[in-house]
Structure 1
């Protein structure tokens, strides 16, 4: 076993989740990530925790969705999640486009059925991470060895140092009320964050981490945004997404590729046309785009927004939390001709923050 797998597992157990004696732990991973699962089981044994291993297969998931005529809430799965203290989930399947031929409407129906399961998991301690596989390396345009180095370099960052740097932005957002994002000629979007909470992601729920994120007030978004970086969703690439917002809701949309999939996401439910997350990437160890949102949204010089559900911890008691079966992140490149303003003051210009040299 590569010693970096053991280090990866130790960061998950000790930094990201704090697994302790008596914890009931679900470890859900594809077969390709078995080494990481083995290392996690060993550490659970060391800590006195109780692991259950779920081997997740995209092939099996595809077969089920294509064969089913309808979906019901899986009560047995919900029962397991209700009894679980910690979830560790890894991506890393062999074929990143495995579910590309599942009808988008089918996927939306499936997600609606599983929404209570997702919400139960989000209420617990959880960590989503990545195991480096040749399939993801190919998607990133990298050799397997180079991709392994990329993933484990990002995972094994000095998270205490990263936390301290990101705390500067966390403080600005928690003291602010209105955010304006401008980039190029097409993105000019304002939103309120008043009463909501900005969180510092330094490798806990997401590993790697490297962002500060919050939720906008649900009906506050006004303006337009061009997401100029592509995303992979359900095995298909969506490019050049353009959204226009009025009173928080997406009122018009387009995409340069797979617009039907974008439309299906936006039509999933009432909440899928509202934004549940505003995130600002701050991890400059992630220095290239890899078509993997777990990494791409953390890149320095980027902003991302997610249509769909908001994380409960980011929404203040006086504000409405956007709820949806979807949570789909999309990215804006902020490295050139761009600004982020908070309460009328520019706090980032062309990717450089007000608290950094060169601002």
Structure 2
């Protein structure tokens, strides 16, 4: 077994989820990630945890969704009962065919998201980690050889997370004291939002591995302006590119995409909350130096900003502000490397991807 797999497993168990003796653990993974699951199981055995695994094969879900009557979807109560008794959830991605679910209708996915929402909420209340195994299908989607993709993934997930957290904390402190944030990029992106009263999270490789961003929630009705997402979104086996979104008083009032706009139709029609922002995130992981059609990595890239329509993370929303609730949470990315600024309360804190606290600002 590649020793980097064992290092990855150790990071998941010891750093990301902090598994303790007696913890009930669920590991969800595709078969292509069996080596990583095996390494995780060894560590969980050493820690005297209780563990079960679930096969996350997208072929199974494709078959179910295509055969189902969406009007009959119900929250799977047996799965919810499992997660209610679970302390730690480890979810591992790894594709053999990244387009497996590309022929599932967007409205079917939206209906399933609505039914699954209570389970998603239960999972988020636990100690959880979402990570990536460098599978060949994921490498192919990224346009990389398997070996190159393995190096890319392991470089990103095995950072010195204490040092990364210290670097990111500088941006956390700026946003925690902020009222208004403005994001401007080129001629097509100019959007403002309030973050007053909300908290900023320092993502240091715990819930997401890799980590490498800071994120907060916009005040629900404060978002105004237009955004051009110049990096594609890969969702449900489809590339959605050239996305433009217009906000008024927090709500999405117009949108378009140059390719696969129907995927956005499904997202925004899921529920009312899907038309409001749940997250503003700023990528700060410089070890992620290329776009790979994998949001777990792409949103963490340095020189990027991402905003997510749909559910806000409760820990980011202050007591005096409204929590945006939705069955969706869809991140989309703006490249901030050229002709771009982030302003906080009228002061430029990032210009062309460089932060005010970095030497070459």
Q: How far apart in 2 are the matches of 1:14 and 1:175?
A: 32
1:44 matched residue in structure 2:
44
> Is 2:119 aligned against 1:117?
yes
**Aligned-residue offset at 1:190:** 0.3
The alignment's C-alpha RMSD in Å is 0.6
**Aligned-residue offset at 1:263:** 1.4
For the residue of structure 1 that corresponds to 2:331, the secondary structure is strand
- Stretches of structure 1 lacking an aligned partner (at least 5 in a row): none
| Residue deviations 1:303-346 (CA, integer Å, cap 9, x gap) | 00000000111111111111111100000000000000111111
Contact 1:279 1:305 in 2 (8 A): yes
| Residue deviations 1:248-305 (CA, integer Å, cap 9, x gap) | 0000000010011111111110000001000000001000000000000000000000
| Residue deviations 1:152-203 (CA, integer Å, cap 9, x gap) | 1111111111000000000000011110000000100000001100000010
For the residue of structure 2 that corresponds to 1:263, the secondary structure is helix
Match for 1:313 among 312, 315, 333? 315
TM-score normalised over the length of structure 2:
0.99
Q: How far apart in 2 are the matches of 1:249 and 1:104?
A: 21
For the residue of structure 1 that corresponds to 2:166, the secondary structure is helix
2:5 matched residue in structure 1:
5
2:27 matched residue in structure 1:
27
Q: How far apart in 2 are the matches of 1:92 and 1:98?
A: 12
Contact 1:301 1:352 in 2 (8 A): yes
Q: How far apart in 1 are the matches of 2:334 and 2:57?
A: 31
Match for 1:82 among 81, 84, 89? 84
Q: How far apart in 1 are the matches of 2:189 and 2:113?
A: 30
2:234 matched residue in structure 1:
232
For the residue of structure 2 that corresponds to 1:107, the secondary structure is helix
**Aligned-residue offset at 1:2:** 1.0
1:286 matched residue in structure 2:
288
Alignment of 1:197-346 (within 5 A): 197-346=199-348
1:102 matched residue in structure 2:
104
For the residue of structure 2 that corresponds to 1:277, the secondary structure is strand
Q: How far apart in 2 are the matches of 1:157 and 1:323?
A: 33
Q: How far apart in 1 are the matches of 2:330 and 2:324?
A: 13
Which 4+ runs in 1 deviate beyond 2 A?
A: none
1:356 matched residue in structure 2:
358
For the residue of structure 1 that corresponds to 2:285, the secondary structure is coil
Q: How far apart in 2 are the matches of 1:49 and 1:218?
A: 40
| Residue deviations 1:11-66 (CA, integer Å, cap 9, x gap) | 00111110011110110001100111111111011111111111111000000000
**Aligned-residue offset at 1:93:** 2.3
For the residue of structure 2 that corresponds to 1:316, the secondary structure is coil
Alignment of 1:135-150 (within 5 A): 135-150=137-152
For the residue of structure 1 that corresponds to 2:130, the secondary structure is strand
**Aligned-residue offset at 1:231:** 1.2
Alignment of 1:146-165 (within 5 A): 146-165=148-167
Contact 1:31 1:93 in 2 (8 A): no
Q: How far apart in 2 are the matches of 1:22 and 1:315?
A: 32
For the residue of structure 1 that corresponds to 2:108, the secondary structure is helix
